[in-house]
A and B are shown apart, each in its own frame.
Chain A
Amino acid sequence: MPSSSCTTDPEANGVPAQTPPATRRFWHIGFRRRIQLWGVAFVLPALLFFAVFKYGPMLWAIGLSLTSYDMVSQPSFVGLENYQSLASDPIFQVTLLNTLVYIGVSTVLITLIGLALALAINTGVPYARHCMTAMFLTNLMPVIAVCLVWKFLLHPFGPITQLLAPFGAARIDWVTNSATAMPSIIAVTVWRFAPYFMVVFLAGLLAIPDDYYEAAQLDGANAVRRFWHVTLPLLTPVIFFVVVVSALLCARIFLLPYFITGGGPGSATRVLSMLIYDTGFSYLKMGRAAAISVVLFAIMMVFTVLQMRLFMRNERMLA
């Protein structure tokens, strides 16, 4: 990857450029500094927006986790009581575990399958573009329709079981058996999101200029080596995006699992987003719901920081 070549910045050696005095005073902050400020300026509108619409509410919610709040009266401070009671709550423990499994497995599968699909589309097969369009539809259907359809498809004697009938399956309790319920929900999640990230990967693949592949081919690299040494490194920023975003999406997802299993059977598919919803709006314990949210927040924060460490090293090489 070509690195930034030396440019001829007249100020590089500390010698001021030959500019008229008036403008020189204006640019006295220096070339580099000015660029830094432009960077800040570009980011500022978003930050201001978030300050009002996101950070304010987020801080409020985090503060709320230290209170007891039923939405209809004023919050009252209770310190760390919510967290203590969560720590000893078996339902919370099960839900936390379920959530970690759910996010972990789904993210890995979505990333791998999304990438595989994108690579498949990017090969020279005819009608690949049509396949991509068709698959992308899975992400476009309104969630309520997706819920209804999947609840039906996952019926023990439903269409999917019927498709597997030739292999001897008469009845498969996809979501009515504690052991298979979570894998089924993960499968539906992957179904919903992988094609979307396939398109994102595709956009990334398209951005890789052909010269690199040709150069590698000239060097005698076969397809696998080309993939490993050209495609993958150049896709790193996109992979970073997909991993983090799919994890965040899985952490937030609510309606799809809620509708299909409601968290059941028992608590087999209960995830934190459902617990937060029930605790806050059903039981009117917003303070406790906020505490659960903070736990989820912390998990996602740790995850994202780890990903940043992992991926941003590579980014330096690209820019």
Chain B
Amino acid sequence: MDRASLKSTMSPRNVTRRDVVTGIGAAGVGAAGAATLGRRASAQARGPLTVTIWTNDDPAQTAWYQKRAQLFNAANPNIKVDPQRFPAGELGKKVSVGFATGTAPEGFLTFDFLMPVWLDKNLVAPLDVQRLGYASIDSFTGDHPPAALSNLVKDGKAYGLPTWFHAFSNWINLKHFKEAGLDPDKDAPQTWEQFGQVAKRLTIKDRDKFIRQGGKFAMHSPVWTMIQFNPILLQCGGAWFDASGKCTVNNAAGVRAMTIRASLVREYGAEDPADSVATNPLPMMDWLRERTSMFLVHPVHPNAIKSQNPRMFADGDYRAIRYPGLEPGKGYATTYGFVLTVNAQAPKEKQDVLHDFYKFFMAEPLEVWKETAPFAHVRRAGGWQQDPVVTGFPNAKWLLQSREEGVALPRTLVFNELGDAMHRAVQKIVLNNADIQASLNEAAAEVDRATAAYRRA
């Protein structure tokens, strides 16, 4: 080619407009959206009725789901209950995407503190408590501790079935107590002040570095921050929100509570918040590795102790005691857990199947205990908690009792935003030594913005 024609093919381009190609894609998506959003198609007439339940991924609980599903399906040939498990952190996301695309399961598990959102968006159906085996809603509520019901019951109806619920306790290392000359029975801390002082005594330092921290708060996730701080706030007479919905975590009671929270670091010098090898998979790692003598945590599974600290497991020298409070013997913790729900958009026959399965699923708390101890179903009924298998399990009596006495997390539509705001505030306070009032003011402002935006965006 000569130069002239060369140039013309390489001349600065005239921008051509994008056109049809994009339109095809957009139309395709639009059609898909219109067709699939909304009610699911009803179940097919022939073949077994398939009902899907999405749950989280705790292996012991998963095994129980599979077992019960197998038994249930065997007893009901025309029905197939199919529990599917997902990582706990991802379950909420999958369910949301499921709802967005019309592919949500018939039943799903959720954290109890997320129930207000599902309820507000009318995604969960009210339960027919009679079909679950209860005479009335009152016998349903009577079968569960109040904290477990706090986010579920609305207008005299129950919208979820509590399954596994836990409360936090103070897990103490008895070996450390004895080494420090403390008596685990008499000197075990009951108030926050005692908690700090005992922690100080249990602390071992090498100049600035902690060889062993006396006590520790988990710092690795907003949910944990909320669970740990919730009781302190309530004990101080504070509240998360006032009657008008404004966040009040930055009032005098809130500042007092946060001061208590930060006191382990600031006042007693018994904790180094930056010094932690805990990760999400093993939040209690510091306690398991005996880098801290006391740790506020949910029931610790023996397998965790066995795999991380065989000696502690073999000697059994640990104990779960009451969460600290403002007055001796009056401490309480947060009770939180998992709730099985029924998708409000599922067809009636599948909802009925779910009820039957749920009833069957919750029917044998003692067997559940044997499978998943120290995590247990939160039902009271049947006296299973007095069975020797249960009472003989280390700390079982206290763990079950702590659930009864615990308080629920705040019932709010912006729980995740609240958790994130509090988590950031705590980080600033204990890691960067920020001013408590200022940090709480920022957190409260964030939460108020989130509340205002809830309806808007």
**Interface residue ranges, A against B (CB under 8 Å):** 4, 6-7, 9, 12-13, 32, 35-36, 47-48, 51-57, 59-60, 68, 70-74, 78, 81-82, 85, 89, 91, 148, 151-152, 155-157, 170-171, 173, 176-178, 259, 262-267, 278, 281-288, 316
Does A4 lie within 8 Å of B432, measured CB to CB?
Answer: no
The answer on a CB contact under 8 Å between A266 and B432 is: yes
Q: Is there an interface contact between A72 and B100, defined as CB atoms closer than 8 Å?
A: yes
B16: min CB distance to chain A, Å: 10
Taking A176-B431, A286-B100 as given, write out 18 further A-B residue pairs in contact, using a Cβ cutoff of 8 Å, ordered by the A residue number. Answer: A6-B1, A9-B5, A48-B21, A53-B25, A56-B26, A59-B25, A59-B26, A74-B37, A156-B272, A177-B432, A178-B431, A264-B427, A264-B431, A278-B416, A281-B93, A284-B96, A285-B457, A287-B457
Are B457 and A71 interface neighbours, CB within 8 A?
Answer: no
Bound CA–CA A36/B5 (angstroms) = 13
**In the bound complex, how far is the Cα of B289 from the Cα of A263, in angstroms?**
27
- Are the C-beta atoms of B427 and A71 separated by less than 8 Å? no
B residues less than 8 Å from A267 (CB atoms): 424
List A contacts of B21 (CB < 8 A). Answer: 47-48, 51, 55
Q: How many residues in B have their beta carbons less than 8 Å from beta carbons of A? A: 55
Cβ of B431 and Cβ of A60 under 8 Å apart? no
Does any Cβ of A come within 8 Å of B449's Cβ? yes
Report the minimum CB–CB distance from A5 to chain B (whole Å): 10
C-alpha gap A104/B121 in the complex (Å): 41
Chain A contacts for B123, CB-based, 8 A: 72
Q: Is the CB of B25 within 8 A of A72?
A: no
Q: B residues within 8 A CB of A56?
A: 22, 24-26, 28-29
In the complex the two chains form, is B424's CB within 8 Å of A264's CB?
Answer: yes
Q: Nearest Cβ in chain B — how far from A85, in angstroms?
A: 7
Q: Are A155 and B277 in contact (CB under 8 A)?
A: yes
In the complex, how many angstroms separate the beta carbon of A82 from the nearest chain B beta carbon? Answer: 6
- Roughly how many angstroms separate A82 CA and B456 CA in the complex, as a whole number? 9
Q: Is B274 an interface residue (CB 8 A)?
A: yes
Q: Quick check: B2 and A68 within 8 Å, CB to CB?
A: no
Residues facing A in B231-285 (CB within 8 A) are 272-277, 279-280
Query: Do A265 and B457 touch (CB < 8 A)?
Result: no
- Is B75 an interface position by the 8 A CB rule? no
Closest Cβ–Cβ distance, residue B140 to chain A (whole Å) = 26
Inter-chain CA distance A278–B413, complex, in Å, is 15
| Contacting pair B417 A283 (CB below 8 A) | yes
B54 → chain A closest CB, angstroms: 15
Whole-angstrom CA separation of A4 from B9 in the bound complex: 13
Interfacial chain B residues near A287, Cβ < 8 Å: 457
Q: Give Cα distance in the complex from A262 to B276, angstroms.
A: 15
A82 nearest in chain B by CB position: B457
* Across-interface contacts of A57 in B (CB, < 8 A): 25, 29
Quick check: A60 and B29 within 8 Å, CB to CB?
yes
Contact A85 B1 (CB under 8 A): no
Roughly how many angstroms separate A259 CA and B280 CA in the complex, as a whole number?
Answer: 9
The answer to whether the Cβ of B97 comes within 8 Å of any Cβ in the partner chain is yes
Q: Is B325 an interface residue (CB 8 A)?
A: no
- Are the CB atoms of A81 and B456 closer together than 8 Å? yes
**B24 x A51 contact (CB < 8 A):** yes
**Looking across the interface, which residue of chain B has its beta carbon closest to that of A35?**
B9
User: Which among A91, A151, A266, A288 has the highest number of chain B CB atoms within 10 Å?
Assistant: A266
Residue A72 contacts which of B121, B220, B453 (CB distance < 8 angstroms)?
Answer: B121
| Cα(A35)–Cα(B279), bound, Å | 58
Taking the nearest CB of chain B, how far is it from the CB of A293, in angstroms?
14
Q: Which residues of A contact B314 (CB under 8 A)?
A: none
| Contact of B6 with A4 in the complex, beta carbons under 8 Å | yes
A78 adjacent to B457 (CB under 8 Å) = yes
A53 and chain B: residue at smallest CB distance? B25
Q: List 12 A-B contacts (CB under 8 A).
A: A13-B2, A52-B25, A55-B26, A56-B29, A70-B121, A72-B96, A73-B121, A91-B446, A171-B209, A282-B417, A286-B100, A288-B453
Q: Closest 3 A-B residue pairs measured CB to CB?
A: A56-B25, A176-B274, A71-B100
Residue of A nearest to B33 (CB): A60
A288 CA / B28 CA spacing, docked (Å): 24
CB-CB under 8 A for A52 and B24, given A85-B457, A148-B279, A284-B117: yes
Q: Tell me which of A9, A48, A73, A265 contacts B428 (CB under 8 A).
A: A265
Q: With an 8 A cutoff between CB atoms, is B360 at the interface?
A: no
* B450 partner residues in chain A, CB cutoff 8 A: 283
Q: Is the CB of A152 within 8 A of B277?
A: yes
Chain B residues, Cβ within 8 Å of A265: 424, 427-428, 431-432
> How far is B136's CA from A259's CA once the two chains are assembled, in angstroms?
46
| Distance between A163 CB and nearest chain B CB, rounded to angstroms | 16
CB-defined contacts of A177 to chain B, threshold 8 Å: 274, 431-432
Chain A residues with CB under 8 A of B420: 278, 282
Report the separation of the CA atoms of residues A87 and B117 in the bound assembly, to the nearest whole angstrom. Answer: 26
